[in-house]
């Protein structure tokens, strides 16, 4: 299924739809090879959304320990930025965000700056200068606001559609700390203002 999704992205780019990207789970062993594959096919036009991955994958295909998952995700972020690709960091995890901020600084990237990477894929309508941060509504609002106040492009994701409830319950079951943050945002909405 993962390869089929990546192939759809490549096919859409061939059809001229260059504002289409793909999501990678940093925890998967194959993630670095998948990044290489997409770089070979799309070059700097590659557009990624990287997350640690919430699914509880078996240990024969994915990292299962917290430190390994964070490290693998950060390695993916480094590889994407080095390749000139657009990198949307979809994480509420402070070590991932701190690593991303450090990596951006090392490339001279940041708020109010054009993407300085010589191999960058160029401006992408409505997106940040080579990167952005993405967070789920109700989770780590203060951190999201701090990033936005510093000038970083941020996006808030809201579960919707016919299966929004099932998706939300699965997220809560797989990561109970999200439940506490959502409950806090619901009971004390002022803590999660945009």
Sort strands 47-51 and 22-25 into parallel, antiparallel or unpaired.
Answer: parallel
Reduced to 3 states, what is the DSSP secondary structure of residue 50? strand
What is the pLDDT confidence band of residue 180, given thresholds at 50, 70 and 90? low
Q: Distance between the two ends of the chain, CA-based, in angstroms?
A: 35
Segment among 1-5, 118-122, 169-173 with least mean pLDDT: 169-173
Instruction: Determine the Cα–Cα distance for residues 21 and 39; give it in Å rounded to an integer.
Output: 12
Residue 73 confidence (pLDDT): 98
The pLDDT tens digits of the residues spanning 55-94 come to 778 999 999 999 999 999 999 999 999 999 999 999 989 9
The pLDDT tens digits of the residues spanning 15-47 come to 999 888 999 999 999 999 999 999 999 988 999
The pLDDT tens digits of the residues spanning 89-142 come to 999 899 999 999 999 999 999 999 999 999 997 777 778 889 999 998 777 888
Instruction: Determine the Cα–Cα distance for residues 182 and 1; give it in Å rounded to an integer.
Output: 31
In the chain, the domains with their CATH numbers are 2-192 (3.20.20.220)
Name the CA radius of gyration of the chain, rounded. Answer: 17
CA angle 48, 13, 54 (to 5 degrees): 30
Q: Is the dihedral of CA 182, 186, 187, 190 positive or negative?
A: positive
Residue 170 confidence (pLDDT): 64
| Structure-block tokens of residue 189 | 């909405």
Instruction: Determine the Cα–Cα distance for residues 101 and 109; give it in Å rounded to an integer.
Output: 9
Instruction: Determine the Cα–Cα distance for residues 153 and 162; give it in Å rounded to an integer.
Output: 29
Residue 19 confidence (pLDDT): 85
The single-letter DSSP state of residue 76 is H
């Amino acid at each position: 299924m993962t390869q089929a999704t990546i192939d759809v992205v490549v096919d859409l780019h061939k059809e001229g739809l260059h504002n289409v990207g793909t999501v990678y789970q940093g925890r998967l062993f194959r993630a670095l090879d998948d990044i290489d594959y997409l770089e070979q096919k799309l070059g700097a036009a590659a557009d990624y959304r990287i997350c640690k991955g919430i699914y509880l994958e078996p240990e024969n295909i994915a990292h299962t320990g917290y430190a390994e998952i964070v490290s693998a995700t950060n390695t993916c972020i480094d590889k994407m930025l080095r390749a000139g690709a657009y990198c949307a960091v979809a994480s509420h995890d402070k070590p991932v965000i701190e690593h991303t901020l450090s990596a951006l600084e090392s490339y001279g990237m940041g708020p109010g700056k054009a993407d300085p990477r010589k191999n960058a894929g160029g401006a992408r309508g409505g997106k940040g200068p080579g990167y952005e941060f993405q967070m789920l509504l109700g989770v780590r609002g203060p951190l999201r606001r701090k990033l936005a106040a510093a000038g970083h492009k941020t996006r808030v994701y809201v579960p919707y559609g016919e299966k929004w409830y099932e998706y939300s319950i699965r997220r809560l079951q797989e990561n109970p700390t999200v439940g506490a943050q959502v409950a806090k945002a619901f009971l004390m909405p002022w803590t999660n203002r945009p």
